[in-house]
Amino acid sequence: MRYQIAVEAAMGLCYLHHDCAPRIVHRDIKSNNILLDLEMHAHVSDFGLAKFLQEDGASRWISSILGTLGYIASEYAETLRVDEKSDAYNFGVVNVGANYMEKTNRGIGGLNEHCGVG
């Protein structure tokens, strides 16, 4: 299930970065901004910080750092330049967190089964 959610969220980002006109960088990919519908299909949400990407593929300069602490790519924080690589970094942080939580929750000695989790 987690794998399918990750794939669908990645497909949404791919659409924003490559197929959307104009192309969009989200700038705030985090677990709270990947929503699930009733069929458990993932959708990227919350475009409040989104910016259009340059048509020539160049990074876009931003005047201030915005986003969620812990998800912000270090090169974005240092250079104030954003592109699809910034979203890819954020997406990686989301996936590392999801995989870590899955492994952590598995190791609670039967508590998951007792609580009906998992």
Q: What's the CA gap between 16 and 48, in Å, rounded?
A: 14
Torsion of the alpha carbons at 49, 55, 57 and 58, rounded to the nearest 10: -70
Tell me if 26 sits within 8 A of 16, measured CB to CB.
yes
Structure tokens at 117: 């989790």
Q: Which of 19, 28, 37, 87 is catalytic?
A: 28
Annotation says 83 is catalytic: no
Q: Could you give the residue numbers annotated as active site?
A: 28
